[in-house]
Amino acid sequence: MAATITLDTLVDWLKLADAAIIEHSDELTALDAAIGDADHGSNMKRGMAAAVEAVDAGGFTAIDAMLKKVGMTLVSTVGGASGPLYGTFFLRMGGALAGRDEIDSATLAAAVEAGIGGLVQRGKAVEGEKTMLDAWYPALRALTAHPDDIAGAAAAAAEAAAAGRDATEPMIATKGRASYLGERSAGHIDPGAASTALILGALARAIAGEAA
Ligand code: ADP
Ligand code: MG
């Protein structure tokens, strides 16, 4: 197993994430119907499709330019709270990878950390508020724990994100639309944590060599 990944793997990631979002779109919308406005599946499907189209059309040769294009496309097409949040994630992740053609596990962890930093700056949430951060942070901790093994790191991150998603179920939302429900938001998985788990599952599969 290679110790590093290149642009091609990240493009596979995007495409596998798009496919996973399409496959689970109805589930994401059902989760959002319970504690939001039932648009998370369609929001994400629209955004990921536009991002794949933009990357295919762009002929990118640099990792940072490709990821920034994904970010800008998500900001402008997803709508809702999640568009600017995911968009900022990819913009910042791209920024952290400027000048890089190859990424090892520690670099990937640092780039994801930068992406989360952007997301936090934008959304002003912390861990435990029943948002996508409750999947991102456990994933980041798992990535950081495997600095010499990028495939192992990504697999652990995917697992941690799924566990983080499940852990949002009993939480009471204090950020985003679900917070309007107060205590009634408990008992439902957060849709954004669910989409984050799908995106990180796709990353693990891309790094393991699954072609898009
Ligand atoms: P909207 O809430 O505008 O309809 P979406 O349904 O697409 O947007 O996305 C909702 C998801 O966005 C939530 O499930 C949550 O994970 C995430 N979210 C909302 N507000 C925040 C925030 N301030 N910080 C982090 N994530 C947030
Ligand atoms: Mg919504």
For residue 149, tell me if it sits in a domain.
yes
Q: Rounded to whole angstroms, how far apart are CA atoms 21 and 42?
A: 9
Q: Is ligand 1 within 6 A of the CB of residue 82?
A: yes
Atom of ligand 1 nearest to the CA of 83: 7
pLDDT digits (tens, 9 = 90+) for 116-129: 999 999 999 999 99
Residue 212 belongs to some domain of the structure? no
pLDDT for the residue numbered 80: 86
Share of the chain above pLDDT 70, in %: 100
Residue 2 domain flag: no
Q: Is residue 1 part of a domain?
A: no
Helix (H) or strand (E) holding 5: strand 4-5
Segments forming the whole domain that contains residue 125: 7-207
Give the predicted TM-score (pTM) of the model: 0.98
Q: State the total domains in the chain.
A: 1
Atom of ligand 1 nearest to the CA of 80: 3
**Each residue's pLDDT tens digit, 141-153:** 999 999 999 999 9
Q: Is 125 in the pocket of ligand 1 (CB under 6 A)?
A: yes
Q: What is the rounded end-to-end Cα distance, in angstroms, of the chain?
A: 18
Lookup result for tokens 């496309």: 73
Give the CA dihedral 7, 16, 113, 189, nearest 10 degrees. Answer: 180
**Protein residues with C-beta less than 5 angstroms from the ion ligand 2:** 32, 36-37, 39-40
Q: Which atom of ligand 1 is nearest to the CA of 193?
A: 16
Within-domain flag for 35: yes
Q: What is the CATH number for 154?
A: 1.25.40.340
Identify whether 119 is part of a domain: yes
Q: Produce one character per residue of 171-207: b if its CB has 16 or more CB atoms within 10 Å, e if not.
A: bbbebbbbbeeeeebbebbbbbbbbbbbbbbbbbbbb
Residues ≥6 apart with Cβ < 8 Å to 144:
109, 113
Q: Is 117 part of a structural domain of the chain?
A: yes
